[in-house]
Amino acid sequence: MSSRRTIRVSGVIQAEISRLISRERLLEGTVITVTAVDVTPDLRQAFIYISFLESDQPAVRVMEILAKQSFHFQKEIAARTHLKNTPKLSFRHDQNIERGDRVLELLKEVEQADQNRPTPPAPDIAVRPLYQEGQKGPKGAASGCVFFSSLKTDD
């Protein structure tokens, strides 16, 4: 379970990293989102989860650029925050958005397949009450309950 301090430090680092990435302009043409930051309980390491869309570069290249800049980002965070020890930054690719997009695509495919499938005919079933109002039903049934049975009609 995370302590309040680790949660607060995670939030500060997430805001600062987002600001630094947008300011540095290292990755033109790439929309980068800092989706989460996990800080170890001793506050010595921070795992920064990055998601990006509309990238001109492959994911591996984007992560390499961010890893090279991690020490620079760490120094900037140390200068802007009042932490005794600034956590070492490790960037990780968060693929949850891509997975979510894939799930949505699959759901659309299933929906389209259902729309193209013919509707089955309705069954020939008539419903009639087993007991008329005022008659006693099965033992233990609540009063006022009406029980129904289904019959196949031969019309």
Asked if 74 and 13 sit in the same domain, the reply is yes
| Domain span holding position 49 | 4-97
Phi, psi of 22 (to 5 degrees): -70, -30
For 98, 105, 117, 131, the CA distances from 102, given in Å and listed in that order, are 6, 5, 23, 53
Q: What is the pLDDT of residue 88?
A: 93
Tens digits of per-residue pLDDT, 32-91? 888 999 999 988 999 999 987 766 677 888 888 888 988 999 998 888 888 888 899 999
Q: What is the pLDDT of residue 82?
A: 81
**Residue 36 covered by a domain:** yes
**Residue 116 covered by a domain:** no
For residues 114-123, give the mean pLDDT: 76
**Residue 110 covered by a domain:** no
Q: Could you tell me which residue, 120 or 136, shows the higher pLDDT?
A: 120
**Residue 22 covered by a domain:** yes
Asked if 137 and 74 sit in the same domain, the reply is no
Q: What is the pLDDT of residue 89?
A: 92
pTM for the full predicted model:
0.63
Asked if 77 and 147 sit in the same domain, the reply is no
For residues 80-104, give the mean pLDDT: 86
For residues 102-130, give the mean pLDDT: 78
| Domain count across the chain | 2
**Residue 44 covered by a domain:** yes
**Residue 112 covered by a domain:** no
Residue 154 binned pLDDT confidence (cut-offs 50, 70, 90): low
